[in-house]
Amino acid sequence: MRLLFIGGTGNLSYETSLRALAKGYELFHLNRGRRVDRSLEEVTTLYADIRDPEAARAALGELDFDAVVDFIAYTPEQVRLDLELFEGRTSQYVFISSASAYRKPPASHVISESTPLSNPFWSYSRDKIACELLLKEEWARTGFPVTVVRPSHTYGLGWIPTAWSSSDFTVPARMLQGKEIVVHGDGQSLWTLTHARDFAVGLVGLLGNPAAIGETVQITGDEALTWEAIHGAIAAALGVTPRIVHVPSDFIAEVDPEMGEHFLGDKSWSALFDCSKLKRLVPEFRTTVPFAEGVRESVAWCLADPDRQRINPDIDASIERVLAAWRRAMAAAQK
């Protein structure tokens, strides 16, 4: 089977690439070639910016594929470019959407593919919804062979999933420095985390699968933890005791509206996923990496090299602003 991954070196796509290669598939990446640390000798890399249609078309030449997966499409405009580029060139087009597209506030904490899509809080999610609608219309109108995949919070090597960020070391660094960290609400809402190695089994199992054409499939693990437990596991991997301050999500949104989108539009709500459709389509899918194990691996990878311990100054400053505002609010309430 010949596959094309648009991206190929990110959190989801790298592990999916490794899984596809292990299955013996012929794999191409289409990207700009900037992540040399994640280049794979067995992959044929086509160098182009997917946002430049002429450059992408030239890089693809006469190639066609059994499946194309776009890991980096976020807007309807970007999906329209894909439709123009891959019509007649692939037997399956996979769009990576997001579980954050599901209705917020939720009517139920148990989510399936039939849960309505609506997110008034987060523009990212609304754009993903618009992309899905465009693709479903194209499937109905022309039979364009689309599969929509909805992951939730997926992490991998070097990713440490905190309430504030995952791809940097900001919150773990605060823990190591003995600083306070913020956990939204009372820390007891349930959250589902999925290791990228497990996600890859689900996604690769959908590729070339005729039963997946025209379908929407969510790919998440089976393990749900409270946010308190998630941050506790990170601290345990670091060998420290976390100094957790609980702050309501709507308070965070008042102090930092941009971060508020992430909390009110996603992380504030308990989320458990019914993945029975995925397990019917891909019987080998299951959770094999529990969070305590996966996060220890990620923390160890970061601690092995100071260059991997990147701090996001904007996230760090936002946490400090929220803490300062919360202290003032608590002091005022005690008067």
Strands (E), 52-189: 67-70, 93-96, 110-111, 146-151, 153-155, 180-184
Q: What is the pLDDT of residues 275-308, one digit of tens each?
A: 999 999 999 999 999 999 999 999 999 999 999 9
State how beta strands 224-226 and 190-195 pair: antiparallel
Q: What is the pLDDT of residues 10-40, one digit of tens each?
A: 899 999 999 999 999 999 999 988 776 677 8
State how beta strands 110-111 and 190-195 pair: unpaired
- Can you give the pLDDT at residue 192? 97
Q: What is the pLDDT of residues 131-157, one digit of tens each?
A: 999 999 999 999 999 999 999 999 998
Tell me the CA distances in angstroms from 243 to 112, 173, 331, one per residue in order.
35, 12, 19
Q: What is the mean predicted confidence (pLDDT) over 62-87?
A: 97
Looking up tokens 């996600």 gives 199
pLDDT at 170 over 90: yes
Query: pLDDT class for 9, splitting at 50, 70, 90?
Result: confident
Average pLDDT of the chain, as a whole number: 96
- Can you give the pLDDT at residue 158? 85
* 293: its two tokens: 């194990």
Give pTM, 2 decimals.
Answer: 0.95
- Can you give the pLDDT at residue 36? 67
* Residue 335 identity: K
Burial class of residue 149, CB neighbours in 10 A (0-12, 13-18, 19+) = buried
* Residue 283 identity: P
